[in-house]
Structure 1
Amino acid sequence: MDWDDLRVFLAVARAESLSRAGRRLGMDASTVGRRIARLETALGRVLFAKTPQGYAATPEGAALIPHAEAAEAAALAANEVLAGQGGLTGQLRIGAPDGCANYLLPQIAARLIEDHPGLDVQIVALPRVFNLSRREADMAIAVSRPQTGRASVQKIADYRLHLAGHGDYLDRHPPIRTLADLQGHRMIGYIPDMIFDPELDYLAETGADRAALSSNSVSVQMQAIQAGAGLGIVHDFAIPFAPGVRRVLTDRISLTRSFWLLRPAEDRRSDRLTRLAEAVAAGIRREVQRLEGLVATGT
């Protein structure tokens, strides 16, 4: 059985779509479809059933998946042996919530591609949890530890959040010294029904029952705060990227959250992905410490 055919099969099994699999493989959907048909003919088995939701693996297809994954792991291991312990190459796709993706991962990716010129880094910023079993990413950053699934989970670092506003907005309003002083202020936060993780539900910390301006994106919230639209709870590590934004009530409203690194469990056998995971985790720890240090010292 040809490994390249198995590679196409595995992409469709994970994406449950010819077009999504094709985009990941760099092929058009019709080519992917022909490759699957060829494999099915060679095996004398139907591997996928077309449904309104996409392509679902049949029992025969599901039975083939672990063998295809074993072949994939062997191919990756062979590449690692040939590449040796020098520079890392190939593609690395990292999925992350947009706060991490916007304010931390660009610096980390810049260092990675500087140290490893043969490496292509893709940052997928989405305000939701990634499905690693479908290989939406090689690794993902999460804001809470998953309670189910087969993913390999590693705590990266704690980070802090505080209530903040732009200086122009704060100067136009009376001083904020107590929680009671927040009454009448416009609040900025998440769209309630689009909060994908309970760890992101910050509004109750302020005593407010509604946000006058809301978004599912951390960076949009920060832009609104910087535009003087109101107050919001923001990551300390994002404040150095928003000139004029200042923390308020730091002694009363202070949150600590954590970043977790998630990887498919089977990838723990890959030296290449382990080295990349270690580099990403170390980079996040370094950047959180550096940026929060700038805020603490007022630099």
Structure 2
Amino acid sequence: MSVGDTISWDDLRLFLDVARLGGLSAATSTTGLSAATLGRRVTALEQQIGEPLFIRRQTGYQLTPAGEELLARAEDVEAAMRALTRWRDGSVGEQIVRISAGTWTSAFLAQHIGELWHVDDNIRIEFATAYQKLDIGRRAADIGVRSERPLDPNLAGRQIGRVAHALYSGLNLINGIAAGLFVGVTGEAANVASARWLMAHHGDRISVRGNDVQSVRELVAAGAGLGVFPCFAGDSDARLVRVAMPITELETEQWLVTHHEDRHRPEVRLVADRIAALMREHGPLFRGERRRPPS
């Protein structure tokens, strides 16, 4: 890298997301950029550094030694930028709280935003929805809703409930549903436990697939086949009908996770407490105990 070259913070932020999430496609959800654009930006950064930062594999991006070193330095810059942002936001009375959760949980929280956030809180909320967990230990998010107890010593967690999953069909017994077929998942979403369970138990009867859970729900509702959803999502959709008891092996715990040092920040604690209260209030729905009767 020549003396006159300056690495931009924007490029470092993109690098951090790709490094933490392990690939371009995963980072599209957090950066808002296409995988092609991210690829070009990463390649340009490598040319600027003068060394490859990633080993490209079909399964994802793995950091090279130079990438590991840049990651550590970029995290130092990130911490400094966060401190600067908090100082700036504090001067105008607003703090940012970034919430990381899976697709269904993020949608549920968004539907109940009025119970989590008020205009007069002087807080700004950001939702970071991703199939892969954002690294709270490295402060990629302030609050995470997770399916297991955090083991990282930098993280603090409290269990706030349990989540059940079950098989659902659309209201009309047509097309793939009438034939006893299933709707599967492809792409990143195929790595979630429910998608793996469906593949293991009914893989030979999957006739249609979608590459995100929202598409899968639309396909099931339209009659393409049966699908697996968390009960809080399936039972809340008037177009879906639960066709069997919850799947025991897919039941998970629900944990609220924060950074050990950040959990006492007033804005983080306020939002975390509200999320915990919301989840406990709707605990029966998440546990699959509020089954909506068929229309």
TM range (shorter): 0.5 to 0.7
Identify the residue that residue 286 of structure 1 maps to in structure 2: 281
Instruction: Find the aligned partners of 1:51 and 1:142 in 2 and give their Cα distance.
Output: 36
Alignment map for 1:197-276 (pairs within 5 Å): 197-198=192-193, 201-203=196-198, 206-209=201-204, 211-250=206-245, 255-276=250-271
Instruction: Find the aligned partners of 1:123 and 1:226 in 2 and give their Cα distance.
Output: 26
Distance 1:117 1:264, change over 3 A: closer
2:169 is the alignment partner of 1:165: yes
Structure 1 residue 266: deviation in Å? 1.8
2:291 corresponds, among 285, 289, 295, to: 295
Structure 1 residue 284: deviation in Å? 2.5
Structure 1 residue 164: deviation in Å? 0.9
Structure 1 residue 262: deviation in Å? 2.1
**SS, match of residue 244 in structure 2:** coil
Instruction: Find the aligned partners of 2:255 and 2:10 in 1 and give their Cα distance.
Output: 26
Structure 1 residue 147: deviation in Å? 4.4
Identify the residue that residue 98 of structure 2 maps to in structure 1: 93
State the number of aligned residues. Answer: 248
Distance 1:199 1:168, change over 3 A: closer
Instruction: Find the aligned partners of 2:260 and 2:113 in 1 and give their Cα distance.
Output: 23
Structure 1 residue 95: deviation in Å? 1.3
Structure 1 residue 254: deviation in Å? 8.0
Q: Which runs of 5+ in 2 are unaligned?
A: 1-7, 18-26, 32-48, 55-65
2:125 is the alignment partner of 1:137: no
**SS, match of residue 262 in structure 2:** helix
Q: Which runs of 5+ in 1 are unaligned?
A: 1-8, 25-48, 84-88, 175-183
Instruction: Find the aligned partners of 1:268 and 1:167 in 2 and give their Cα distance.
Output: 44
Distance 1:204 1:96, change over 3 A: same
Identify the residue that residue 109 of structure 1 maps to in structure 2: 113
User: Does structure 1 conserve the Cα–Cα contact (< 8 Å) formed by 2:170 and 2:241?
Assistant: yes
Superposed CA deviations along residues 108-160 of structure 1, whole A, max 9, x for unmatched, are 32222337452222212222211224433222222333445632222221122
Instruction: Find the aligned partners of 1:252 and 1:267 in 2 and give their Cα distance.
Output: 36
User: Does structure 2 conserve the Cα–Cα contact (< 8 Å) formed by 1:10 and 1:65?
Assistant: no
Identify the residue that residue 123 of structure 1 maps to in structure 2: 127
Instruction: Find the aligned partners of 1:169 and 1:237 in 2 and give their Cα distance.
Output: 22
Instruction: Find the aligned partners of 2:154 and 2:205 in 1 and give their Cα distance.
Output: 37
Instruction: Find the aligned partners of 2:246 and 2:191 in 1 and give their Cα distance.
Output: 28
User: Does structure 2 conserve the Cα–Cα contact (< 8 Å) formed by 1:127 and 1:216?
Assistant: no
Instruction: Find the aligned partners of 2:83 and 2:227 in 1 and give their Cα distance.
Output: 45
Q: So what's the TM-score if we normalise by structure 1?
A: 0.62
Q: CA RMSD in A?
A: 4.6
Superposed CA deviations along residues 164-204 of structure 1, whole A, max 9, x for unmatched, are 10121369966xxxxxxxxx522113327754444653215
Q: So what's the TM-score if we normalise by structure 2?
A: 0.63
Identify the residue that residue 36 of structure 1 maps to in structure 2: none
Distance 1:200 1:279, change over 3 A: farther
Corresponding letter in the other structure for 1:187: F
Superposed CA deviations along residues 238-269 of structure 1, whole A, max 9, x for unmatched, are 13543231111327878422222222222134
